[in-house]
Amino acid sequence: MPTLFRLAISSLLIVAASNASAGVITQDGVVFTSNFTGNVLTLEIDAANRSGGWAAASAIDALSIKTIGSFSGVTMSSSGGAAWSLLPTELNSKGCAAAKAGASTTSLTRLCYTGAGLALADNMLFTFTFTGTPALSAPHLKVHFVDAKGVKTGSLLSLDFPATPELIPAPSITLPVKETASSSAGSPLIPAATNTTSNVPEPQSIALLAAGFAMLGLTRRRKS
């Protein structure tokens, strides 16, 4: 029972910490979520339920991030495998603006990725890995929505994410294995698997555990 209780509390704390470490923007039925660990910024776009000005949009073909301090380089990967080009420029209604002559490429303060349109859906993931010393807690995001013909649709998203703390990966949890007669006879103990689904109690177990503690508290009060 103590082990189950510790696992239940740990699971709830991990979920709460993850939620607290994510910045969220919602507009026209589209949800944008950001979090970061170290120099890695993750952006998720959930656009299956888009509405309003973006109801007719079918893809995005550019996005921009700024107000993240300065950095010397960045790479992007996406769940859609986008082979987009990087420009150190501003995103406007026409797309990533052309870079100005003599623009610095060693100390960047913003980025603009653009390329072939990515079909809108839920769980669109973009991962940005920076070099240098960026400040990723409250990025400003711009996203360019287009229709099936590649024509801009709706407004250009241009909003700040609320400031959020760094997302710290959850520590591994290892359960002790009860010693058996065979193990006491000299057989080595096999450690329990780490971070498997069997280690996490089901919601029903957590509910029963809470009810048990409540009954225990009532019993003690009656005895006193």
Report the percentage of the chain scoring pLDDT > 70.
Answer: 62
Least confident segment among 60-74, 75-89, 207-221: 207-221
What fold characterizes domain 22-160? Immunoglobulin-like (2.60.40)
Q: How far is it, in rounded angstroms, from Cα 110 to Cα 66? A: 4
Report the candidate in 167, 151, 190, 170 with the shortest Cα–Cα distance to residue 43.
Answer: 167
Q: What is the pLDDT of residues 101-123, one digit of tens each?
A: 444 556 799 999 999 999 999 99
Asked whether the predicted pLDDT for residue 93 surpasses 70, the reply is yes
Residues 6 or more apart whose Cβ sits within 8 Å of residue 99:
87, 88, 89
Distance separating alpha carbons of residues 215 and 211, to the nearest angstrom: 6
pLDDT at 150 (0 to 100): 95
Average pLDDT on 12-23 reads 53
Domain range annotation of the chain = 2-12+172-223, 22-160
Contacts of 209 (CB under 8 A, 6+ apart): 1, 4, 5, 8, 201
pLDDT band for 206, please (50, 70, 90 cuts): low
If you average pLDDT over residues 41-62, what whole number do you get? 98
Residue whose C-alpha is closest to residue 166's, from 13, 42, 7? 42
Nearest to 113 by CA among 157, 57, 75, 59: 75
pLDDT digits (tens, 9 = 90+) for 137-176: 999 999 999 999 999 999 999 999 999 999 887 776 666 6
